[in-house]
Each structure stands twice: as C-alpha cells, then as structure tokens.
Chain A
Amino acid sequence: MPSLKDLRNRIASVKATQKITKAMQMVAAAKLRRAQTAAEAARPYAERMAVVLGNLASGITVGPETPRLLAGTGSDRVHLLVVCTAERGLCGAFNSSIARLARDHANRLLAEGKTVKIICVGKKGYDILRRQFAEQIIELIDLRAVRQIGFEQGDMIAQKILNRFEAGEFDVATLFYSRFRSVIAQIPTAQQIIPAQIETSAGAPDAVYEYEPDEGEILTTLLPRNLTVQIFRALLENAASEQGARMSAMDNATRNAGEMIKKQTMTYNRSRQAMITKELIEIISGAEAL
C-alpha cells in the first residue's frame, strides 16, 4: 500500500505529463492546419503535371529513343527504396507503419533474389530500418533543419536520385510515404517513381499537338521535373500526416492521463479517509477504555 505522499507525488507527475501532451496536441493541431493547406495547394500542380504527361505519353510509342526515366532500364535487378518518414517521434504508429511497409517490400524483393538499396529521408525511418538493413541503406537525408518544406527540398532529393540513376546504380525506384486522408487516417503508400507510372488518358487527345521544342526534348525536361513534383508532394503529404498522427496520439495520451489522474485521486481519497477513520477509532476506543 503506497503512502499518501507517494500517491500525491504520482498524481502530480501524471498531471505534469498531461500538460505536456496537451500542449503537444495543440501545437500539432496548429501545424497540421498549415501543413494541410500546403499539401492542398500543391495538389493542382501535381494533377496538371499528370494530365500533361499523360497527354504527351499517349502520343509517343515506347522505343529505344524513349527516355529511360519513362521506359526503364530494361531490367529490374536493383531496387531503390526511398523511405520518407518524420524527423521526430511521439506521433503514434506513423513512422513504424511506413517503415513496416518498406521492410515488407524489401524482404519480398530480397527473397526474390533482387538487390535492394535504401535511401532514408528523415531520421526516424533510418533508426527503425538500420537494425535490419544496415548494409542496404546508402544514404540518410536529414531535413531536421528545414522548418517549412519547399520545392527546393523536393528538388534536392530528386537530384540525388537522378544522379544515382544516371550512374546506373539502380533500375527501379519506389517511394514510401504516408498519404494524408484525414486527421485519424493516414495511409502508408508505396509509389513507383522510376520508371514513371503514367496514366495515359483513355481517349487519346483528338487535337494534334504542336511541340516546341520537339516531343522528345520536352519529355526529357518534363520527366525529371515530374520526379521532383512527386517527391515534393510526398514530403508535403507526409508532413500533414505526421502532424495528424501526432495530434491523435497526443489526444489519446491526454485522455489516458486524465483517466489515470481520476483513478489515482480516488485511491488517494480512499486511503486518506481510511486513515482518518482509523485514527478516530483509535481515539474513541482509547476514551472508552478509560
């Protein structure tokens, strides 16, 4: 049976924790709003890009002239996994669910006898994955110093991936991130980025396009840009998902702490009452004995 002082201390510490989780929840809510607007503002660009690429790709036939970013290298021996996670923890299952998806994917590829290389964006994913894939991780991209994700970060990561692709370090690249559905639902997603997955518009454009400069050249400038846009979008979706996950995790923690305080206070009051009763009985029985 803990003493009254112990109970008091325990209640005080749970209260302090509750204050922290409450504050974190509110901070996450404020950040979420910003991240969500950023993610939504970036959507039109990515959508238009997909439409334009679709128009363009439906007009050409895949041949030896087609850029390798679209047609692939012709083999799928070496896979690159780009795993985007958060830089900070305390956001529920956010990081671990992305890492789990990437791990399952990597294990499946390894079982098929493929070579796997991993680039981690964000420290948390690296921390989880390095236990199992220490030799496979070739790079860790740290975005801790970045406060608001801009197009430059997407560009920087895309550049690194492109350089490796041109150096022939891998054949297929897949991007792992968490798609933001709502505050309570974030869906870990795997998306193949190289060779580009392009939805060609079902009804081919009836109008004949004129290209300036020619199609091939436009396609070669467009494909790297598309890569940047996809990564940029993944980063923004991830940022919004992270805040959403943190918000609901902290909300749960706050509620949990509240329940705990309630229970502890009940025990505290009970044992205090028991003590008083015991003392009274002692006094009364002492008086009666006289």
Chain B
Amino acid sequence: MATFNFELVSPERVLFSGEVDAVVLPATEGDMTVLAGHSPVMTTLKTGFLVVTSTPGNGRRVLVRGGFADVNQNGLTVLAERALPEEELTQDILDQEILTAEMHWDATNEPAARQAAESAIAQLREAKAALNF
C-alpha cells in the first residue's frame, strides 16, 4: 500500500512523524480518511479520536482537541491544540478535559460556540465510554 508522510504536532511537542498508510481525522464537518495521493485540503478539527494506521490492521488512536489539518503534496500535517495518545489517557485526564469543555460551554452564550462545546463534551464522554473508564 502506498504510504505518505504524516506529522502530528501539538504546541508542546511533535507526537508523530513518519510514513503511514492512512489517517482518520475528526474533521469539523464529519470524519474523513486521508490516504496517499489525497487532493490538497485544509480543514479544522473538532474534539475526537484521530486514528493512524501505519501497517494494515494496526491503528493507533490519539485524542485531539481542536486544531486543523493540512493535506498537500508533501503529506498531511495535523496541528492539534491538544493531543493525547491513547496510552497516556487516564480517567483523571479525561474528566479534567470534560470539565474544561463544560466550563467553555458555561462561559459562552454564542450559539455556535455553545454547539462546538456541546459536541466536544459528547465526544469526550464517548471516548470515556469507549475506553471503559
């Protein structure tokens, strides 16, 4: 399978850099999968799991919160405002994230921002359930 260059960068560090088969992105307007040779696209991300497949049938999940993805001929670059690999996730961290999202929800009255926060909370709750916490 053709591979492409993928980079996952958070403000604090580079989380992943290398050749991969496929990446599933939690894009704002619906999840999308990026494969090699994808046409150039730029999209914002919502809260959710990003799945990196470097060998078939072997996915690695990373929880990202906000950010954007840039697909061009050089590959895919994801700039996540916050990124937590599955291995590093604990119940405490998730609860903390949910609390922050809820605070965002409380802090705003704008419908768009409220909706974004609501979907973030839902996504985080889902993540929590998926990881059996």
Q: Give A residues with C-beta under 8 Å from B.
A: 38, 41-42, 44-45, 48-49, 52, 55-56, 150-151, 154, 205, 207-213, 217-218, 221-222, 225, 229, 232
B40 at the A interface (CB under 8 A): yes
Q: Which residues of B contact A154 (CB under 8 A)?
A: 11
The residue in chain A whose Cβ has the minimal distance to the Cβ of B41 is: A210
- State the total of A-B contacts with C-beta under 8 angstroms: 75
Select one of A48, A225, A232 contacting B9, CB under 8 A: A48
Q: Which residues of B contact A232 (CB under 8 A)?
A: 11
Q: Which residues of B contact A221 (CB under 8 A)?
A: 44, 68
Report if A209-B42 is in contact (Cβ < 8 Å); known contacts: A55-B70, A225-B81.
yes
B106 at the A interface (CB under 8 A): no
**With A45-B10, A221-B68 given, can you name 19 additional A-B contacts, CB distance below 8 Å?**
A41-B12, A48-B79, A52-B42, A52-B68, A150-B12, A151-B81, A151-B82, A154-B11, A207-B39, A207-B73, A209-B40, A209-B41, A210-B39, A211-B41, A212-B28, A213-B29, A213-B43, A218-B43, A229-B11
Q: Which residues of A contact B14 (CB under 8 A)?
A: 41, 44
Q: Is the CB of B44 within 8 A of A218?
A: yes
Chain B contact residues (Cβ within 8 angstroms of A): what range? 20 to 34
Cα A41 to Cα B10 in complex, Å, equals 9
Q: Is the CB of A212 within 8 A of B41?
A: yes
Q: Is the CB of B27 within 8 A of A212?
A: yes
Cα A209 to Cα B13 in complex, Å, equals 27
Select one of A38, A151, A211, A229 contacting B43, CB under 8 A: A211
Report if A212-B43 is in contact (Cβ < 8 Å); known contacts: A49-B79, A207-B73.
yes
Minimum CB–CB distance from B83 to chain A (whole Å) comes to: 11
The 24 sampled A-B contact pairs (Cβ below 8 Å) are A38-B12, A41-B13, A45-B9, A45-B11, A45-B79, A48-B77, A49-B79, A52-B68, A56-B42, A151-B81, A205-B40, A207-B73, A209-B42, A210-B40, A210-B42, A211-B41, A212-B27, A212-B28, A212-B41, A212-B42, A217-B44, A218-B44, A225-B81, A232-B11
Cα A94 to Cα B80 in complex, Å, equals 33
- B14-56 toward A: CB 8 Å interface, digit per residue (1/0)? 1000000000000111000000000111111000000000000
**Which 7 A-B pairs have CB atoms at the shortest separation, nearest pair first?**
A212-B43, A207-B40, A41-B13, A151-B11, A210-B41, A45-B9, A209-B40
Cα A26 to Cα B7 in complex, Å, equals 36
- B70-95 toward A: CB 8 Å interface, digit per residue (1/0)? 10110001010110000000000000
Minimum CB–CB distance from B82 to chain A (whole Å) comes to: 7
Minimum CB–CB distance from B66 to chain A (whole Å) comes to: 8
Q: Which residues of A contact B27 (CB under 8 A)?
A: 212
The residue in chain B whose Cβ has the minimal distance to the Cβ of A52 is: B70
Q: Is the CB of A208 within 8 A of B40?
A: yes
Q: Which residues of B contact A42 (CB under 8 A)?
A: 11-13
